[in-house]
């Protein structure tokens, strides 16, 4: 109970700081603190809570201890430097409407929920006078959520902001004609069953077609039936595998006629109202197969005698805002897509080719509009000042990463030789300066090799490579990071609305899980509310070159939060930056286009700036583009899985070197490092013992022997089964289990026993 001396009202604590304090020793109860946090998610930092309850001096120390206790008990979690009730929903969330209550009120669950227990129930409230589409059962919506105080009813109410495009009950599959003339639908999802199609429901589908089908209600005996709704394409054509992901994830890939018409009517931007920088030898450095170029760079020593050893770096970015104005068909379609999606066999662009590959692409030797930032750095790599300019530029050279690197390494070609001393060497000198600043900043240093799939002309896999990471890549990356920081600083300084790129520190629960794991390796991670990337770097440095290096890197990676977009800044933990916004890729990311518009408006750079209606929608837009980014990542992963599975389908019974990439009660996920592909080993197939799942050690160990398998172990496996279109592979373990330090043979025998896999391949289970 709260200790009350006299005279204090039980009213809303948000106004407590304006009331006279009768006694200085008033302290709120635990329930009052928890209720305040639930009701005020936007004002739930420690300072704001203390202010709400008018706590000062020692009372603030008491509050800090109370909040820590509530976090340790699992009643509170810390997100974005604010406290929330454990499992609490964000103020804006994507919801799935699942039913109605007895009064007919729509009920929803969050589409993604990682909190404790079951997902909360949200009652959808419709405002009076609502116009436009009305949500119904089965719809996915974007909604503002508000916690309730009714212990017997839904935990939240929700107000719908947007209804996502409706999806039917249709599923995707491959139409197959069997030898007896009957029809089957081969699944393209791992848990999807095979389906029968009767001849009257064939709808023109041919063998090998990717089709959309509507499953019928399953009968008691035999496979369920389905009817073909639409033929989407043939798997015998190129780019068929990515088409599966495009349809499975509802990725818009055909531009509407009005969007194509608007793009086609666009005229090249004029010089009027821009600074003429066409004589500055800016160059583009991109992958060799890049079709659009949205950034160009230049650097030179700082001639100011007050900044010895300093450099001036210029980054110019395609001025997409000159062509894509808020509210137009082009803009609406770009927001709907959110970002370009990159598959091994195709790109689904955010903007039509006329814009992305022509008018906005910084082509060599052609006039192009851009927004440039000129940044001055000290010899230590500290940014001293910067300025933004709306310009007309002309790229002096289109270079590929290996080409630019080869020139610096002493092997210039006919294109790089003339600009080696005047352009390329100053760029590398500037990178050396910026690298000093990066090293001092100590961002999270996780070196994760990226694999690239090379395809044959028919769209099948030729080989999988790991491209060498060159200084040329790191140079462009650091230049872009600094340009993004400058954009965020300018907009924040001008009090202009923007969408930040935010990355929260690991949650307390993930920190504790990581701490428990490291303890099994005799490694320690300091406790404290303010984690720093350098603390993780210290752990990684301690295991560098050790047998468990890959294991520790994997677990540290999985402890990190997911980056997203938000109009509210919490900083970027991974980069160790206080403010960060995406500015450098407006051709392929809508977030960057918003930042460009904000800079144009804030600095008075002409037409195409951020409008007030757009600024008012930034919370909604940030949630949408965060969702489209996750959608793109999932589609890209699924396509890679399918391509690799098809590539290995003819290698049944072959053995492979693998690494354990996931451990669950159901079994082990293994990755083939050569291909970057995953498969599953059911626990029921592990011979010689009864295996128990140890969540802390990320391992399965034998109850009798204590030997087992742990995350990141290198093992030998045999490929037993492949479902190419589902991207699924099942393996057999060939490596004997190893002794595991600290394995607990008793491990709660009644609770912790592993169960045999319930399906051919088990759950997907891997974290990306």
pLDDT tens profile 700-747: 999 999 899 998 889 999 999 998 888 889 999 999 999 986 555 444
Partnered with residue 158 across adjacent β-strands are 124, 145
Which pLDDT belongs to residue 215? Answer: 84
Q: Output the domain CATH number for residue 719.
A: 2.40.50.140
Question: Around Cβ 376, how many Cβ atoms within 10 Å?
Answer: 17
- The DSSP secondary-structure symbol of 507 reads P
Q: Of 95-109, 536-550, 580-594, 623-637, where does mean pLDDT reach its minimum?
A: 95-109
Rounded Cα distance between 388 and 316, Å, is 10
Provide the mean pLDDT of the chain: 85
pLDDT above 70 for 294: yes
The pTM (predicted TM-score) of the whole model is: 0.77
373 close to 296: Cβ distance less than 8 angstroms: no
Which pLDDT belongs to residue 753? Answer: 38
Rounded Cα distance between 680 and 758, Å, is 12
Rounded Cα distance between 673 and 657, Å, is 8
- 131, 163, 195 - which closes a domain: 163
How does residue 73 score in pLDDT terms, banded at 50, 70 and 90? low
Which pLDDT belongs to residue 156? Answer: 86
How does residue 72 score in pLDDT terms, banded at 50, 70 and 90? low
Higher pLDDT, 370 or 642: 370
Which pLDDT belongs to residue 767? Answer: 32
Three-state SS for 537-582 is: HHHHHHCCCCCCHHHHHHHHHHCCCCCEEECCCCCECCCCECCCCC
Residues 148, 58 share a domain: no
Which pLDDT belongs to residue 275? Answer: 98
Rounded Cα distance between 209 and 186, Å, is 10
- The token duo for 254 is 């055909």
Percent over 70 (pLDDT), the chain: 86
pLDDT above 70 for 148: yes
Q: For residue 724, report the phi and psi dihedrals to the nearest 5 degrees.
A: -55, -45
Residues 180, 315 share a domain: no
- 163, 184, 210 - which closes a domain: 163
Residues 158, 184 share a domain: no
How does residue 130 score in pLDDT terms, banded at 50, 70 and 90? low
Q: Output the domain CATH number for residue 178.
A: 2.40.50.700
Residues 481, 332 share a domain: yes
Residues 416, 324 share a domain: yes
Residues 384, 303 share a domain: yes
Which pLDDT belongs to residue 100? Answer: 76
Q: Is 410 left (phi over 0), alpha (psi -120 to 50) or beta?
A: left
HSE at residue 730, side-chain half, CA atoms within 13 A, is: 18
Beta strands in 443-482 (DSSP E): 452-455, 461-465
245 falls within a domain: no
641 falls within a domain: no
Which pLDDT belongs to residue 446? Answer: 81
244 falls within a domain: no
673 falls within a domain: yes
Question: Around Cβ 649, how many Cβ atoms within 10 Å?
Answer: 14
pLDDT above 60 for 427: yes
Which pLDDT belongs to residue 55? Answer: 85
Residues 329, 194 share a domain: no
Residues 448, 321 share a domain: yes
pLDDT above 80 for 66: yes
Given the DSSP bridges, would you call strands 699-702 and 383-394 parallel, antiparallel or unpaired? Answer: unpaired
Q: pLDDT (tens digit, 9 = 90+) per residue, 353-370? A: 999 999 999 999 999 999
Q: pLDDT (tens digit, 9 = 90+) per residue, 242-258? A: 888 888 888 998 899 99
CB within 8 Å of 409: residues ≥ 6 apart? none
Residues 377, 448 share a domain: yes
pLDDT above 50 for 463: yes
750 falls within a domain: no
640 falls within a domain: no
Q: Output the domain CATH number for residue 22.
A: 1.10.10.10
Residues 96, 81 share a domain: no
Q: pLDDT (tens digit, 9 = 90+) per residue, 134-143? A: 787 767 888 8
Residues 422, 482 share a domain: yes
CB within 8 Å of 560: residues ≥ 6 apart? 444, 503, 506, 510, 573, 574
187 falls within a domain: yes
Mean pLDDT, rounded, for 145-162: 82
How many distinct structural domains can be found in the chain? 6
How does residue 7 score in pLDDT terms, banded at 50, 70 and 90? very low
CA-based nearest residue to 608, from 361, 410, 321, 368: 321
How does residue 127 score in pLDDT terms, banded at 50, 70 and 90? low
Rounded Cα distance between 247 and 212, Å, is 9
Which pLDDT belongs to residue 756? Answer: 34
Which pLDDT belongs to residue 388? Answer: 98
Which pLDDT belongs to residue 168? Answer: 54
- The DSSP secondary-structure symbol of 664 reads E
Residues 446, 372 share a domain: yes
How does residue 36 score in pLDDT terms, banded at 50, 70 and 90? confident
Rounded Cα distance between 673 and 169, Å, is 37
110 close to 89: Cβ distance less than 8 angstroms: yes
Residue 69 is part of which domain span? 13-85
Which pLDDT belongs to residue 4? Answer: 35
Q: pLDDT (tens digit, 9 = 90+) per residue, 171-230? A: 888 899 999 999 999 888 777 788 999 888 888 899 988 888 888 766 666 788 888 888
Which pLDDT belongs to residue 167? Answer: 52
Rounded Cα distance between 415 and 398, Å, is 9
Higher pLDDT, 343 or 135: 343
- 62, 85, 108 - which closes a domain: 85
77 falls within a domain: yes
Q: Of 122-126, 546-550, 575-579, 629-633, where does mean pLDDT reach its minimum?
A: 546-550
Provide the b/e sequence for 531-542 (b: ≥16 CB within 10 Å).
bebeebbebbee
């Amino acid at each position: 109970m709260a200790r009350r001396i006299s005279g204090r009202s039980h009213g809303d604590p948000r106004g407590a700081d304006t009331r006279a304090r009768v006694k200085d020793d008033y302290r709120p109860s635990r329930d009052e603190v928890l209720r305040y946090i639930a009701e005020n998610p936007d004002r739930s930092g420690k300072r704001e809570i203390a202010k709400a309850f008018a706590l000062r001096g020692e009372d603030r120390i008491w509050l800090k201890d109370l909040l820590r206790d509530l976090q340790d008990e699992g009643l509170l979690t810390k997100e974005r430097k604010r406290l929330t009730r454990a499992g609490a929903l964000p103020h804006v969330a994507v919801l799935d409407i699942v039913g109605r209550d007895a009064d007919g009120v729509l009920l929803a669950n969050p589409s993604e929920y990682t909190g404790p227990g079951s997902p909360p129930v949200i009652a959808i409230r419709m405002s009076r006078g609502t116009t436009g589409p009305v949500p119904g059962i089965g719809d996915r919506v974007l909604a503002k959520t508000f916690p309730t105080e009714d212990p017997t009813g839904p935990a939240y109410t929700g107000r719908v902001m947007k209804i996502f495009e409706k999806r039917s009950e249709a599923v995707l599959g491959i139409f197959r004609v069997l030898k007896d003339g009957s029809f089957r639908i081969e699944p393209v999802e791992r848990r999807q069953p095979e389906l029968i199609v009767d001849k009257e429901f064939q709808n023109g589908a041919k063998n090998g077609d990717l089709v959309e089908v509507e499953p019928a209600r399953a009968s008691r005996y035999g496979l369920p039936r389905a009817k073909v709704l639409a033929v989407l394409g043939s798997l015998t054509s190129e780019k068929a595998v990515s088409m599966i992901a495009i349809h499975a994830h509802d990725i818009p890939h055909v531009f509407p006629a009005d969007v194509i018409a608007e793009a086609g009517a666009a005229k090249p931007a004029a010089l009027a109202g821009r600074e003429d920088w066409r004589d500055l030898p800016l160059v583009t450095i991109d992958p060799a197969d890049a079709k659009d170029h949205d950034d160009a760079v230049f650097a030179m020593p700082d001639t100011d005698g007050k900044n010895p050893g300093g450099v001036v770096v210029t980054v110019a970015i395609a001025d997409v805002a000159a062509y894509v104005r808020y509210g137009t068909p082009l803009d609406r379609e770009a927001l709907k897509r959110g970002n370009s999606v990159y598959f091994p066999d195709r790109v689904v662009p955010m903007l039509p080719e006329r814009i992305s590959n022509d008018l906005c692409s910084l082509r060599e030797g052609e006039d192009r509009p851009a927004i440039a930032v000129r940044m001055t750095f000290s010899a230590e790599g500290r940014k001293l000042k910067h300025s933004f300019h709306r310009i007309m530029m002309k790229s002096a050279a289109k270079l590929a990463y290996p080409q630019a690197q080869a020139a610096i390494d002493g092997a210039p070609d006919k294109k790089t030789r003339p600009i080696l001393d005047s352009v390329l060497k100053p760029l590398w000198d500037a990178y050396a300066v910026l690298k000093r600043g990066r090293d001092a900043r100590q961002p999270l240093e996780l070196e994760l090799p990226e694999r690239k799939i090379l395809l044959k002309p028919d769209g099948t896999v030729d080989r999988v490579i790991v491209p060498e990471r060159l200084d040329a890549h790191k140079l462009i990356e650091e230049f872009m990071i600094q340009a993004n920081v400058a954009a965020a600083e300018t907009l924040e300084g001008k009090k202009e609305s923007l969408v930040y790129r935010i990355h929260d520190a690991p949650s307390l629960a993930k920190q504790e899980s990581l701490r428990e794991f490291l303890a099994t390796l005799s490694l320690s991670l300091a406790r404290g509310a303010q984690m720093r990337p350098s603390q993780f770097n210290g752990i990684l440095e301690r295991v560098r070159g050790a047998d468990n290096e890959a294991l520790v890197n994997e677990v540290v990676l999985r402890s990190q939060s997911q980056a997203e977009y938000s109009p509210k800044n919490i900083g970027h933990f991974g980069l160790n930056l206080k403010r960060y916004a995406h500015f450098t890729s407006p051709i392929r990311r809508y977030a960057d286009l918003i930042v460009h518009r904000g800079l144009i408006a804030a600095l008075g750079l002409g037409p195409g700036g951020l409008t007030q209606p757009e600024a008012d929608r930034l919370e909604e837009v940030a949630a949408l583009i965060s969702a489209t980014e996750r959608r793109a990542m999932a589609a890209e992963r699924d396509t890679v899985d399918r391509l690799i599975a098809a590539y290995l389908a003819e290698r049944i019974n072959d053995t492979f070197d693998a690494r354990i990439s996931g451990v669950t009660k159901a079994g082990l996920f293994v990755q083939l490092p050569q291909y970057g592909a995953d498969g599953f080993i059911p626990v029921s197939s592990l011979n010689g013992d009864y295996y128990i799942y140890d969540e802390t050690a990320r391992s399965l160990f034998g109850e009798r022997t204590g030997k087992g398998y742990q995350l990141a172990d290198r093992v030998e496996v045999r490929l037993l089964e492949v479902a190419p279109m589902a991207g699924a592979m099942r393996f057999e373990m060939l490596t004997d289990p190893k002794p595991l330090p600290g394995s607990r043979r008793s491990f709660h025998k009644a609770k912790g026993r592993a169960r045999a896999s319930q399906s051919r391949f088990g759950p997907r289970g891997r974290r990306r």
